[in-house]
Amino acid sequence: MSDASSRSPTPTADEALHTTLDMPFEDAVPFVQIEHELADFETVRVTRLDQMIAGMLGHDDVERTALIVVCHPEIAHDALQIDPTLAGMLPCTTTVYERAADDRVHVHHVSATKAIRDLGCAPADSDEAVEDLVTKTGEPI
């Protein structure tokens, strides 16, 4: 077993987008969803992860956490043009959550296209197309 604490973060994790919002959780989730939609992302689903865990496992110790699953049609199209198997890495998910240690609502997003690049999921001859995809992904976000 490896010691994760001794490793530096991968580029994808290191480049993740994180911010905090000074608003109630109930307002933050639709706010973040609308911000994605204004950037031409289609909402696939909004799920309350804490409620799912409580309902299915009976655990009530999970802080409020929402998953906002979105997909940008142009980015999805370009990913599919590279290789149809990349659809398994889509869509993108942004997490909205609370922490007991502070009074802020956290918003965290890891780029699916950067993960495709960093995990080597695309065919070896598509490096340039993947980099173009990563660049394009950063434009609307």
pLDDT tens, position by position, 82-91: 999 999 999 8
CATH classification at residue 75:
3.30.310.70
- Decide if 109 is inside a domain: yes
CB distance 123 to 87 below 8 Å: no
d(CA 30, CA 59): 25
What pLDDT, on a 0 to 100 scale, did the predictor assign at position 66? 98
> Looking at the 3D structure of the chain, how many domains does it have?
1
Q: Provide the domain limits for residue 69.
A: 16-138
Distance between CA atoms of 102 and 40, rounded to whole angstroms? Answer: 32
Residue 5 inside a domain? The answer is: no
Quote the pLDDT of residue 79. 95
Residue type, 64: R
Instruction: Look at residue 137 in the predicted model and tell me its pLDDT.
Output: 80
**Contact (CB, 8 A) for 17 and 106:** no
Per-residue pLDDT of the chain (141 residues; tens, 9 = 90+): 334 444 444 555 556 689 999 999 999 999 999 999 999 999 999 999 999 999 999 999 999 999 999 999 999 999 999 999 999 999 889 999 999 889 999 999 988 898 899 899 999 999 999 999 988 887 665
Q: Identify whether 119 is part of a domain.
A: yes
Within a domain: 120? yes
